[in-house]
C-alpha cells in the first residue's frame, strides 16, 4: 500500500471498487465511458438476438453459432444477427454447414449500431475472454437484456439476467 499512497491518484472503475481501497486517500472513480448515449431503447418486442464484435476467435462466435442451431430448432421464428468484420468466411461456412442460414446472419460493422441494438430483444456475449466488455454496457444502455453466467457454464450453474 505504501507505493500506492505515493501515487497522485489511484483510479478505479466504480464506487464499489473504491470501497475496496478505504486505506488509501488518493482513490478516484473514473467510469468506462459509453461511446454513445441512446435517444431510444429497445421495446424488446422483436424476436431477434444481437451479438457484436470482431470476427476473431477471442469473441467466440464459432461457439455461439452451434449454440444458435439448438435455439433455432426450438424457436424457428427468432433470428441471430452478428455484427462485425474479420474471419467472415470461416463463420459463414459454419453457418452454412449447420443449415441455419435463414436464422443466423453475419452482418457488417455498421455506424448505426444503436438502431441495431434497439431492434433486438436479447444480447449474446460469447467471448472466450474480455478485459471489459463495452458491448455489454452498450446493450444495457439500449435496454437490451444481457443473459450472464459466472465463469464457464456447467449444468449446475444458474444463468442470471442483468
Pairing of strands 48-52, 122-123: parallel
Question: Do 11 and 30 meet the contact criterion of CB atoms below 8 Å apart?
Answer: yes
Sign of the dihedral defined by the CA atoms of residues 40, 41, 47, 48, in that order: positive
Is the pLDDT at 159 greater than 50? The verdict is: no
Kindly list the distances between the CA atom of residue 123 and the CA atoms of 81, 154, 162, in Å, as whole numbers in the listed order.
10, 20, 11
Segments in 75-133 forming alpha helices (H): 88-98, 113-118
- What is the per-residue pLDDT for 161? 40
Least trusted range by pLDDT, from 4-18, 32-46, 94-108, 141-155? 141-155
**Closest by Cα among 132, 128, 134, 151 to 58:** 128
pTM to 2 decimal places: 0.75
- What is the per-residue pLDDT for 14? 80
pLDDT above 90: percentage of residues in the chain: 71
| Of residues 156 and 130, more confidently modeled | 130
Amino acid at each position: 500500500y505504501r507505493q500506492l499512497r505515493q501515487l497522485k491518484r489511484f483510479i478505479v472503475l466504480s464506487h464499489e471498487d473504491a470501497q475496496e481501497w478505504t486505506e488509501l486517500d488518493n482513490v478516484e472513480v473514473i467510469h468506462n465511458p459509453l461511446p454513445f448515449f441512446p435517444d431510444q431503447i429497445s421495446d424488446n418486442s422483436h424476436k431477434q438476438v444481437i451479438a457484436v464484435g470482431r470476427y476473431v476467435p477471442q469473441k467466440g462466435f464459432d461457439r455461439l453459432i452451434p449454440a444458435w442451431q439448438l435455439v433455432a430448432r426450438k424457436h424457428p421464428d427468432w433470428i441471430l444477427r452478428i455484427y462485425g468484420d474479420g474471419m467472415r468466411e470461416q463463420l459463414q461456412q459454419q453457418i452454412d454447414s449447420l443449415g441455419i442460414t435463414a436464422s443466423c446472419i453475419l452482418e457488417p460493422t455498421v455506424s448505426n449500431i444503436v438502431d441495431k441494438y434497439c431492434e433486438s430483444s436479447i444480447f449474446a456475449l460469447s467471448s472466450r475472454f474480455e478485459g471489459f466488455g463495452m458491448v455489454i454496457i452498450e446493450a444495457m444502455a439500449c435496454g437490451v437484456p444481457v443473459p450472464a453466467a459466472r465463469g464457464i457454464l456447467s449444468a449446475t450453474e444458474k444463468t442470471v439476467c442483468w
